[in-house]
């Protein structure tokens, strides 16, 4: 029995928003990154890369379905995973900006994945001890998959960062371009504080130390320079978690949602 169900109805209604909002963040992070990675299907620079990225995309899609289903149930307005994935507009999405950025260079795909996977790993580890039994169950299941993701992403950082002069340059460029977006991963807002208070999940600020330690360790091995922490502090590089997105998300959704927008309710 999860802790939400034991409360009285009035209290439950007041809690619904932070719970749903937090679940949408989890579901949307996985969904949007999955969509980005899926675009590499058939276009990967090597067959092993193509398969790895699409396998990771598939894991993330499955995780997103569980989170969005739970969000729809918690909301209680009759929206299922499909309604949430295909019939919300960009300003209703709650993913971090990092995950919606376009794949301008393969190095960016790898670096983005690395930054996100490490954060995702530590987040899921904490969520697997959630007081909310369904959150804990989804997190524990996802964590097993993400352990493989973070391992691969870390290895790729080293292979390409410490590879040729060109691969090194492109990886460092990608690190410098994406680093400012990592600030958003660790800035608490009212939703995070409520999750912490209810023991549903951690404050995101609490993940920063472990994240930075792993990231710095791998980047040092990869002979990549770790940018200064202040470079990730600018507010212009965050907002996705409360629905303020870059222009890129709209294009991503236009493609992802086309069929359900053109033919609402279409199914296989």
Partner 1 sequence: MIDAQQVMGWLQEVADPEIPVLSIVDLGIVREVSWEQEVCVVTITPTYSGCPAIFEISRAIEQCLLAHEIKSVRIDTRIAPAWTTDWMTEQGHSALKSYGIAPPVQRAVDISGIIRRPAMPAVPCPQCGSKSTRLVSDFGSTSCKALYRCSDCREPFDYFKTH
Which positions touch partner 1 (CB under 8 A)?
A: 48, 51-52, 55-63, 65-66, 118, 121-122, 133, 136-138, 140-142, 144-145, 147-148, 150-152, 154-155, 214, 218
CA–CA gap between residue 88 and residue 81 (Å, rounded): 11
Nearer to partner 1, 142 or 182 (CB): 142
Nearer to partner 1, 66 or 96 (CB): 66
Q: Which two tokens stand for residue 157?
A: 């950082």
Contact (CB, 8 A) for 257 and 86: yes
How many C-beta atoms surround the C-beta of residue 112 within 10 A?
A: 24
Nearer to partner 1, 12 or 61 (CB): 61
**Least distance from partner 1 to the Cβ atom of residue 144, Å:** 6
Nearer to partner 1, 57 or 191 (CB): 57
Nearer to partner 1, 67 or 237 (CB): 67
DSSP string covering 185-252: GG---HHHHHHHHTTSS--GGGGHHHHHHHHHHHHHHTT-PPPPGGGG--GGG--GGGT---HHHHHH
**Least distance from partner 1 to the Cβ atom of residue 182, Å:** 17
**Least distance from partner 1 to the Cβ atom of residue 196, Å:** 22
Q: At what angle do helices 190-197 and 9-38 cross, to 10 degrees?
A: 120
| SS3 category, 253 | helix
**Least distance from partner 1 to the Cβ atom of residue 38, Å:** 11
């Amino acid at each position: 029995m999860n802790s939400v169900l034991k409360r009285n109805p009035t209290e439950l209604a007041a809690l619904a928003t932070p719970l749903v909002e937090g679940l949408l963040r989890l579901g949307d992070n996985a969904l949007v990154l999955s969509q980005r990675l899926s675009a590499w299907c058939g276009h990967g620079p090597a067959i092993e890369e193509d398969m790895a990225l699409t396998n990771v995309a598939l894991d993330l899609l499955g995780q997103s379905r569980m989170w969005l289903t739970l969000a729809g149930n918690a909301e209680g307005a009759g929206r299922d995973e499909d309604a949430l994935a295909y019939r919300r507009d960009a300003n209703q999405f709650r993913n971090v900006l990092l995950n919606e950025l376009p794949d301008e260079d393969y190095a960016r795909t790898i670096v983005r994945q690395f930054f996100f996977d490490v954060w995702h790993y530590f987040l899921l580890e904490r969520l697997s001890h959630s007081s909310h039994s369904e959150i804990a169950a989804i997190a524990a299941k996802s964590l097993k998959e993400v352990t493989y993701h973070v391992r691969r992403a870390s290895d790729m950082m080293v292979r390409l960062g410490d590879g040729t002069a060109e691969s090194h340059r492109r990886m460092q460029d990608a690190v410098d371009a994406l680093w400012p977006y990592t600030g958003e991963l660790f800035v608490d807002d009212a939703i995070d504080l409520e999750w912490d208070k209810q023991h549903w999940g951690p404050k995101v600020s609490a993940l920063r130390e472990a994240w930075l330690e792993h990231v710095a360790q791998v980047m040092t091995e990869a002979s990549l320079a770790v940018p200064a922490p202040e470079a990730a502090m600018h507010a212009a590089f965050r907002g996705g978690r409360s629905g303020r997105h870059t222009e890129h998300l709209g294009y991503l959704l236009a493609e992802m949602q086309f069929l359900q927008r053109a033919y609402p309710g279409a199914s296989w």
